[in-house]
Every structure is written in C-alpha cells, then in structure tokens.
Chain A
Amino acid sequence: MLALATACSNPERSPTTVPGARIAVPRDGPAGEWSMPAGDYSNSRYSELDQITAENVKGLHVAWAFSTGVLRGHEGAPLVVNNTMYLVTPYPNVSYALDLTQEGQPLKWKTRPENAQAATGLACCDVVNRGATYYDGRIYYNLLDGHTVAVNASDGTVAWRTAMGDLSHGETITMAPIVARGKVIVGSSGGEMGVRGWIAALDAKTGKQLWRAYNVGPDADIKAGARYTAFYPQNRGPNQGTSSWPGESWKVGGATVWGWISYDPALNLIYHGTSNPGPWNGVGRPGDNKWSAAIIARDADSGEIVWAFQPTPHDLWDYDAVNENILVDLPLGGTTRKALVHFDRNGFAYTIDRATGEVILAKAYVPMNWSTGVDLKTGRPVLAPDKVPAPGKKLSQICPSLEGGKNQQPAAFSPRTGLFYVPTNNLCMDFETRDVSYIAGTPYIGANAPEVAGPGGYRGEFIAWDATTGRKLWGVKEPFPVWSGALATKGDVVFYGTLDGWLKAVNARTGDVLWKFKVGSGVVGNPMTYLGPDGKQYVAVYAGIGGDMGLLIAGDVAANLPYDVRERGSTLPDLARWTSWGGELFVFAL
C-alpha cells in the first residue's frame, strides 16, 4: 500500500501516448500463445490479449499453481503453444509439458537431460535458466553445463544435445535461445570467470553448429569483415577486437552473451549484448576492450558483424551491455526511424538506429553519477573523474552499482501507449580494486564493490519511459530492486513482480497500482499471458527468488545477523524477512 501511495503522489504522472510508435516485428502466431522468451522477435513482451483490463484486473485470482521441484532463482517465463505449457527449471534444467486442456493440468512429459553437476559451482549468479523457445514442434533450451538441447514437444524425447561450452574454463549457459530462419541462436555465460565470450547458431533440425562468433579477438574470430560498417570513427579499422587490448589479454576478456536476443527479419539481423570485460580490475587491460560491454548487430545467416557499439568502453564498473534490445519503429525528428531501445546497466537508456548503430538519444533512466552524459558525436560516455576505479583508490558512492540501473530483468513495450515499462534498480557502490590471478575455472574479478541503496533510500522502481524524448513518465518506487521482467497487454495493464514476492498490475497510462498478490517466493522471472483452451486470458509468473540479487537467499545462508557482511546481506538486510526460497509457477485468471 505504501508503494501505491507513492505512485499516486508522483507529480510526473500523466496519461501519455507516443503516436506512431510500433513494434518492429509483431508476432505472426496466435495472439493467445507465447512461443518465444519475450513473446516476439522484437522482445516487446506485449500481448494482444485484452480480457484483463484496468477496470477488471482487481478481480484477478489464482487459478492454479505448479511446483517445479527446484528451489533456486526462477528467471525467464514459461511458454504456451498448442494448449501446452512448457517450463524449464533452474539447474538441473528439467523441462515439463503441461496439458492445459485437462483439469489439473496433468503432465504430458517431463525431461531431465544429462547435465554435469560441476556446473553449479561455476555459475556466477545462481544456477538460473532464462527459458526455452518453441519452433517447429520442438522446444530448444540451454543446460547450465554448456549444452544446447532440442526436445520434441510431442513426447519429451531429446532430439539432439550439442556441447557448446567448456566447463573446465568456467563456461556455462543460462540464456534463452531464439530460432531465426531455422537457426538456434545461443551464447555463453562466464564473464566473471575470464572466459572468451561467443554467440553461435545451430541447425534447428540437426543440432549441428552453423557458425560461432567470438566477441573479442581477431576479425576472423569475431566475424568482422566486408559487412562491418562502423558508425563512429573510433570503431574503424581492422582487428578492433585485439588492438583495443594489451597483448593477448583478450583471450580471457569476457564479453559473454548471457542476455536476450532480438531479430529483425527484414534486415536479417540479430541483436545481442556482451558482458563486462575480464577482469573487473581494469589496470591490466588499457584500451576500449572491444567488443566487451557492447551491443552487436550480426547477420543471422553468417554471424558477420554489421555494426557494434560500446555503451561503456573500457568498462571498470561491471556494466555489462547484455540487457535486451527492444526493436521498435519510433517517430523521431519528423520521420519514423527503425530503432532499437536498450536500457543499459550503465544507467543510460539508448535509442539507437538498428540499421546503422547510430545513437539517436541517450539519457539517464535511473539516478547516476559515474558519467555526466553521452557525447552523441562519438556515442561515448563522459566520465566523472572521481568515479573511475584505479589501483589503490577507494571510491565511494558510484551510481548505479555493478548491478546496473537494470540487469537481466527485461522491459516491455506497449504500442498502445508508445511507452517502455522498465524494472529498475536504485543502488550505488563503493569500489576498490585488488590484484587478481587468472586460474582457469575460477572467478577472475579483482575488486570489492559493496552496495547500498541509491538516492532516496528506495532500492528499485518500476518506470514508464518515452524513448523518443528520453523522459520518465511515471514510476512506482519499490523497497527492493525490481528483479522481475515486465509484461505489457492490450488491456492497458502492465505486470511486474518484486523481490519480496508481489505480483503487481499497474495502469499502463498512469502507473496506478491496480492489483497485487503475494506469491510464495520472490519474483525474478518474467510474467507472461496466454489464452487458455477455455477462451480465458491467464497471467503466469514464476515465484522463486534467486539470480544475482536473490542469490544468497536462494543459497539458504543465514540473513540479518549482526556480523553478516555478505554483499546482499548488507544491501538487502531485510529481504529475508519478506520472502523465502521457492520454485513455483502461479497462474492467475479473472
């Protein structure tokens, strides 16, 4: 109720639309299904279902629930195709198919592919899985131990299982794939382990690797060739992926692909972000460290880089650029631009031309002080000198913290309002580097960075953003970082979950909290919506605290103790009072 009161008193709130803003690639499947991690190739997380409206959402109630049997961070969302719901759990990455046509949603099948347990000790930020994607009679997803699997939707048999990552060097896989033109696009995790990040395409039919592109290294490895066109002068010239690193430091340079993939079929480009460079302590890697902390557009068929852009060159703050790239067409400067909107960890929201990589607009969407702004002539951030980590310097109050203005929790876009709905963090950090050695299969970090609540004392906010002006329309302040994704619907209701276990519905135009329900565990997954076989609209969300922000609760360590110096313990000392570990799907209906 306190959050509600805050929203109601927010003077920035006013009904608004951005005329002409539209989703770049509306989905072509049935509106009642949810066949991809984000609902569509654009990563809009928008549904055309409109039975649940701002007027009637207060009548939403639990229809049914399902325990996944795993008590770790449940990121991602289930899929619904052909009246069947598909779920993938955190490690051990069990997949379930539930028959929605029968009362009680009985299992059609349950599949537990072979998955090396050693992986659980190599994943930086809990043993999460961000979900599956459906394509042509199969679901495709990744296993924490570095495999990609195709599971037949009819009977749960594993059609193929391809080894993609190298556990011995700390590579795991947590991201949700997409399928573009018959190719399963997957990428690696392990940016905290000194791995060399990559993205790859597998033949959906056979599981055979069709291409693999590293994000750091020589042009041949990163697939920078004839099609590469740098928008900014500093990005021109051969072998940017080695010349921006000293010696062979790029070989342990991070730049993994653990976030979300979008796809524009008209341009035949996939868009992905890359993680922080390794190690966090940047003293040993002077240079821009391309293409870590970058947004990259690649040809879907060949993997060739078409353009790349670094929101945070020479990242020293753990500002990965893996956050989702939402593809929209926006009215800008009197014309409609093919845009990509990206809410970066570094606290800037970027509106980018998705054909060329030109930054059209970059504005802070959360409280921040590490940079005073983005120079649009170069796309580079202007640094605040007192917030630049260096050996021997003890820096305090750098905002945002290493968790970013936003992290894995994906935003949503509604063509009805033209607005982006963004789950955000409001955290700051102190930062101190320390020496670090590369030991294969162990963390490669070299810094301490304890976090505290940012300005205002709240630690998260759910905001509405106009990407044509770079303006926040309204926000719902939250006591904890908003670690759940957003869902936008045609009923002008937007959903998100909270770390302390609430699923909330807000008015897409005003930000008024219209309804909330306390689920069994903190929400770090992404709400989705589908049409049941009974013709009713349902909303589903995982309850299962974990991921980087809820990791220590997921790991069942003691909380709230006077001698507790854990990072999350000091950042969120009160969280364990409000929720506990869990692993359950909650499904709601009117």
Chain B
Amino acid sequence: MTTIERIAGAGVGLVALLALGEACRESRAAEVPQAPTQSSSAQPARADSAAPFVAHLEHIRPGQAPPRGTTMRNPYAGNAQAIATGAKLFVSYNCVDCHGADGSGAMGPSLADGRWHFGGADGEVFESIYQGRPDGMPAWGSAIAPNQIWMLVAYVQSLSAGKNVSVENFSGKTVERTGH
C-alpha cells in the first residue's frame, strides 16, 4: 500500500466512525438501554442499499474506546544520512526562509522548540508537509516526492530532539539588557 492510499483509507474509516458516534448519542438521548452487542441501529446510515464500503462493526461497540486508526511511521526514522539530506532539502524548497535558520522560527513557526501546532508524530508532520495546513503552510504533496518528505520529517523532528523548552528562566544566567 502506498502512502497516499493509506491516508485515503484512514479518512474513510473516520467517516464511518463519526456516523456511528451520532447513532450512539441519539440512542442515549432516547434513554434506550445500551445493547451490549452489536445491533442494526448502530449501522452507519448510507444513502444506497448496497453493502457498506467500510464496516468494522465486529470490533466497534457502543461505549467502547474507538479503534485506533492507521499510524504512519517514518521509514527514515533516526537515519543520519536521511536527516542530513533533509537538512539540504529544507533549504532547497525554501522551507528555511519561512521557518528560519535551523528551523528556529521566522515567518512560520519554530520547528525547534518542540511545540508542534499540528502534532509532532511521524504521520502528523508528514501530513503537515503533504497537505499543508490552513494557517499558511503550503501543500507540498504534488511537488515533493514522498521519500523526500519523509527525509524532511526526519530532519525537522531532529531539531527539537532532546531539548527541554518548557521553562524560560530569566534570572541567573539570563543575558542582561545591553545599552542602557
């Protein structure tokens, strides 16, 4: 399965899950006792009468935790060569002029402070690059090959690895005001 197909599959599964959630809330509102087993009322509503395109009902139960979706993993995770290539791609695709030298933040957010606006997991960073984000991150999926996106993911994840940026302490070693 290619990366793109996996993203599409995850999306369809999510739609089915949301439809099921609606059904469950409706049944609670009517104070219908919860069925411990699957019932026909939990079927996702569909406009056509054909068999459901996606049906995971064998492991979906009202009241249970939702099933986990597909998690994408970076084939280059921890690969030093890929990280080095990713650093070059970061400059070539002009990422550097938005996100700053070493991803330290400029027009776009810092990628080095461990504060991920849309998640820092492999797949989340991949999707931020592939699909773009509504706050101005362009969608690069049609311009950068998936393996290069994964190298970029490996690089930007490396920027905050091992850093603790949760505290900004202005006493002690703080750089004092210069001038006056």
A-side residues, CB < 8 A to B, are 2-3, 5-6, 117-125, 192, 434, 436-437, 439, 441-445, 448, 450, 453, 456-459, 477-479, 551-552, 555-561, 563-567, 569, 573-574, 576-578
The minimal Cβ–Cβ distance linking B105 to chain A, given in whole angstroms, is: 4
Contact string against A for B residues 90-124, beta-carbon threshold 8 Å, 1 for contact and 0 otherwise: 01111001101110111111101101000000000
Cβ contacts under 8 Å, B170 to chain A: 560, 576-577
The minimal Cβ–Cβ distance linking B104 to chain A, given in whole angstroms, is: 4
Complex Cα–Cα for A121 and B107 (A): 7
Question: What is the predominant secondary structure among interface residues of chain B facing chain A?
Answer: loop
The answer to whether A192 and B110 have CB atoms under 8 Å apart is: no
The answer to whether B109 and A120 have CB atoms under 8 Å apart is: no
Given A437-B92, A561-B165: A479 and B98 interface contact (C-beta under 8 Å):
no
The answer to whether B94 and A442 have CB atoms under 8 Å apart is: yes
Give 9 new A-B contacts, CB below 8 A, not counting A444-B94, A560-B170: A121-B136, A124-B107, A441-B138, A443-B107, A477-B180, A479-B178, A552-B105, A552-B106, A566-B110
Number of A-B contacts defined by CB within 8 Å: 125
Cβ contacts under 8 Å, A559 to chain B: 168
The minimal Cβ–Cβ distance linking A397 to chain B, given in whole angstroms, is: 16
Residue B174 lies at the interface, judged by CB distance under 8 Å to chain A: yes
Closest 7 pairs (CB-CB, A-B):
A121-B136, A458-B179, A443-B97, A442-B94, A566-B104, A557-B110, A577-B170
Cβ contacts under 8 Å, A569 to chain B: 104
Residue B135 lies at the interface, judged by CB distance under 8 Å to chain A: yes
Residue B145 lies at the interface, judged by CB distance under 8 Å to chain A: no
The answer to whether B101 and A573 have CB atoms under 8 Å apart is: no
Interface centre among B107, B110, B136 (most CB of A within 10 A): B107
Question: What is the predominant secondary structure among interface residues of chain A facing chain B?
Answer: loop
Cβ contacts under 8 Å, A456 to chain B: 179
Complex Cα–Cα for A578 and B168 (A): 13
Residue of A nearest to B92 (CB): A437
Residue of B nearest to A477 (CB): B180
The minimal Cβ–Cβ distance linking A94 to chain B, given in whole angstroms, is: 17
The minimal Cβ–Cβ distance linking B74 to chain A, given in whole angstroms, is: 23
Residue in contact with A120 in the complex, picked from B97, B135, B165, CB distance below 8 Å: B135
The answer to whether A439 and B93 have CB atoms under 8 Å apart is: yes
The 6 sampled A-B contact pairs (Cβ below 8 Å) are A443-B94, A444-B94, A478-B180, A479-B180, A551-B107, A566-B104
Complex Cα–Cα for A118 and B138 (A): 8
The answer to whether B175 and A560 have CB atoms under 8 Å apart is: yes
Cβ contacts under 8 Å, A443 to chain B: 94, 97-98, 107
Cβ contacts under 8 Å, A561 to chain B: 163, 165, 168
The answer to whether A442 and B106 have CB atoms under 8 Å apart is: no
Complex Cα–Cα for A558 and B104 (A): 9
Residue B137 lies at the interface, judged by CB distance under 8 Å to chain A: yes
Residue of A nearest to B111 (CB): A557
The answer to whether A439 and B136 have CB atoms under 8 Å apart is: no
Cβ contacts under 8 Å, A567 to chain B: 100-101, 104, 106
Cβ contacts under 8 Å, A441 to chain B: 138
Cβ contacts under 8 Å, B110 to chain A: 552, 555, 557-558, 566
Cβ contacts under 8 Å, B138 to chain A: 121, 441-442
Interface centre among B113, B134, B136 (most CB of A within 10 A): B136
The answer to whether A442 and B165 have CB atoms under 8 Å apart is: no
